[in-house]
Amino acid sequence: MFTARINKKDFEVEFSDNTLQSGKINGKIFKIDLVKDKNSYHVISDHKSYNINILSIDYSEKKITLKINNTIHNISVTNELDKLIKSMGIKQQVTAKIQNLKAPMPGLVTDIPVKKGDKIKKGDKLLVLEAMKMENNLKAKNDTIIKDIIVKKGNSVEKNEVLIIFE
């Protein structure tokens, strides 16, 4: 079970199996028909049709931006562990200084809005990686300085390949 926060409203979601086509939302049973078409999805639920495009995914922050029937929705996701940590009053922090940015998945570098020597803040966009026809904004985990940029726009990269080195 996880919680999806969509436009400041929380939804408790539990899927019945790995197909992600049935389960419960806030205790109410749902069943959907799901068809994937290139970089979009078509969903039918309760006799209503939805066209869904994934615009971006930030895995570290657990945030997703979707375009559903031409309306943009920002979604944040938390699971049971996230809730437990929060209830204990523990703040998740990056304790070790991150030395480099690695590719979280194979893909194509489509934009690098930073340059060597730039001082960046936590959350700044460092690089855009296209994977499976989706643009993924890779962001800084903490304040740092760009020491070197290993890749160039247009490069194909593999998972865990070093992209940017920090001071």
- Residue 143 within any structural domain of the chain: yes
| CA distance to 115, 128, 134, per residue, from 4 (Å) | 35, 25, 20
CA 44, distance to chain mean position in Å, is 24
We report the CATH number of the domain holding residue 147 as 2.40.50.100
Average pLDDT over residues 10-36: 88
| Domain coverage including residue 36 | 2-84
Looking at residue 17, its pLDDT comes to 84
- Residue 95 within any structural domain of the chain: no
Tell me how far apart the alpha carbons of residues 82 and 142 are, in angstroms, rounded to a whole number. Answer: 20
| Listed residues 84, 115, 147: the one ending a domain | 84
Domain count, the chain: 2
pLDDT of residue 144 exceeding 60, the answer is: yes
We report the CATH number of the domain holding residue 11 as 2.40.128
Tell me how far apart the alpha carbons of residues 75 and 59 are, in angstroms, rounded to a whole number. Answer: 12
- Residue 94 within any structural domain of the chain: no
What residue type is assigned to position 1 of the chain?
M
Looking at residue 59, its pLDDT comes to 79
CB contact at 8 A, 39 and 54: yes
Q: Are residues 69 and 122 in the same domain?
A: no
In three-state form (DSSP H/G/I as H, E/B as E, the rest C), the secondary structure along the chain is: CEEEEECCEEEEEEECCCCCCEEEECCEEEECEEEEECCEEEEEECCEEEEEEEEEEECCCCEEEEEECCEEEEEEEEEHHHHHHHHCCCCCCCCCCCCEEECCCCEEEEECCCCCCCEECCCCEEEEEEECCEEEEEECCCCEEEEEECCCCCCEECCCCEEEEEC
Interior angle at CA 43, CA 26 and CA 9, nearest 5: 35
Name the residue with higher pLDDT: 138 or 79.
Answer: 138
For residue range 67-124, list pLDDT tens digits in order.
999 999 999 998 888 877 777 776 655 445 678 999 999 999 999 999 999 999 988 9
**Residues contacting residue 30 through CB under 8 Å, at least 6 positions apart:** 22, 23, 24, 45
- Residue 89 within any structural domain of the chain: no
Average pLDDT over residues 121-136: 91
For residue range 39-76, list pLDDT tens digits in order.
788 998 888 999 999 888 887 788 899 999 999 999 99
- Residue 90 within any structural domain of the chain: no
